[in-house]
Amino acid sequence: MKHSSSRVIFALRLLVLVLFLLPVLWMITASLHPQGVPLSQKLHLLPQRVTLENYVRVWQLVPIGRYTFNSLIVVGTAVPLTIVTSSWAGFSMAQLPHAAQRRLVLLSLIVLMVPGIALWSTRFLIFKYLGWHDSYLALIAPAWMGTSPFYVLMFYRAFRRVPTAIYDAARLDGAGVLQSWGSVALPIARPTAIGVGLLSFIFYWGDFISPLLYLSSERQYTLPIALQLLQQLGRSDWPLLMAAAVMATAVPVILFLLAQPAFHKS
């Protein structure tokens, strides 16, 4: 009896697995379809002839190297900055008096509920005033506040689980705030740090709205905008569009798979 129910659960899980893998699988198979060969009107697992030429064509059509470089710069600065600022905030919150903790958690929740659209035009005006408009700075800006209160709360949750005796011991040893953050708390919260790093990577890598609103010169464009450009160039060249989509998706997916074991602990 028990055995059969666990089999049903396993079958259900398999079904879920297939269902959630389908979008990515279909993206990949479409990207392998040769150019010029009409798309099939019958369902195949793979195109009759598999080719990688669409990936080459993406490079020929738009300066995808430049856009990838821009995306890497944004991610390369924003993600480390996010980990530092959000873990600082979480670390600090976890050790403040209880009344302050409650108020800060409440503030974080309120900020989480502010819709991004409410910030579009005023952030645009502020960035213009600061001269950050049309530069990486506008894209990286949220990293100064830990990107999202959600990440701060994740760190807060992790640091609160650390027994206070450990912080006290570090303090007795003469460690300052930064020292106990860097060499005591952060190593304990490693899974959370990896989780926040991954989530913020996904956010900055896929961010379509900030570059759309705050960038005006093509040199600064990031990958998501490149996808929009390609779509405008060839609306129905599906193999090409899917190749570009796969390229933009591959980096976060590879990172996600690498960070998998640590991610599940956080």
d(C-alpha 111, C-alpha 119), whole Å: 12
Binding residue count for other proteins, defined by CB under 8 A: 95
The nearest distance, CB 112 to other proteins, in angstroms, is 6
DSSP 44: -
Nearer to other proteins, 162 or 202 (CB): 202
By three-state DSSP, how is residue 54 classified? Answer: helix
Complex with other proteins: residue 52 or 261, whichever CB lies closer: 261
Q: Does 74 bind other proteins (CB under 8 A)?
A: no
Burial class (CB in 10 A: 0-12, 13-18, 19+), 175: middle
Taking CA atoms, 58 is separated from 35, 54, 194, 252, in Å, by: 12, 6, 32, 19
User: Least distance in Å: CB of 183 to other proteins?
Assistant: 5
Interaction residues for other proteins, span 117-136 (CB under 8 A): 117-126
- Of positions 72, 73, 213, 262, contacts other proteins by CB under 8 A: 213
CA nearest 148: which of 194, 112, 103?
Answer: 112
Q: Three-state SS for 113?
A: coil
Of the residues 37, 46, 209, 233, which one makes contact with other proteins according to CB under 8 A: 209
Site for other proteins contains 149 (CB under 8 A) = yes
Q: Is 17 in the site for other proteins (CB under 8 A)?
A: yes
Provide the 8-state DSSP code for 34: P
Q: Binding to other proteins by residue 166, rule CB under 8 A?
A: no
- Minimum CB separation from other proteins for residue 219, in Å? 19
